[in-house]
């Protein structure tokens, strides 16, 4: 699991692009409002979270990377 933000796009925008490409992900503060605030981030926008597990295929990863290359 990785969580990240972008200097160019809001977490909501990155999330929307990933979801449009059928990449499973999430965005928000994930009940870590105080941590997100302490990091100087907007809790309303939070971070994008991607998780990979045993059923994540290499095609899933490639699709996520393609979207991130395009959006970021």
Query: Contacts from 51-55 at CB under 8 Å and sequence distance 24+?
Result: 51/1, 51/2, 51/24, 51/25, 52/1
* Model-wide pTM > 0.85: yes
Q: What is the reported pLDDT for 17?
A: 97
Q: What is the pLDDT of residues 10-69, one digit of tens each?
A: 999 999 999 999 999 999 999 999 999 999 999 999 999 999 999 999 999 999 999 999
Q: What is the reported pLDDT for 65?
A: 97
Q: What is the reported pLDDT for 61?
A: 95
């Amino acid at each position: 699991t990785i969580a990240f933000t972008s200097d160019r796009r809001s977490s909501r925008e990155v999330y929307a692009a990933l979801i449009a490409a059928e990449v499973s992900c999430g965005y928000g503060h994930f009940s870590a409002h105080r941590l997100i605030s302490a990091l100087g981030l907007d809790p309303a926008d939070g971070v994008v979270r991607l998780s990979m597990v045993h059923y994540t295929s290499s095609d899933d990863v490639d699709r996520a990377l393609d979207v991130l290359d395009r959006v970021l």
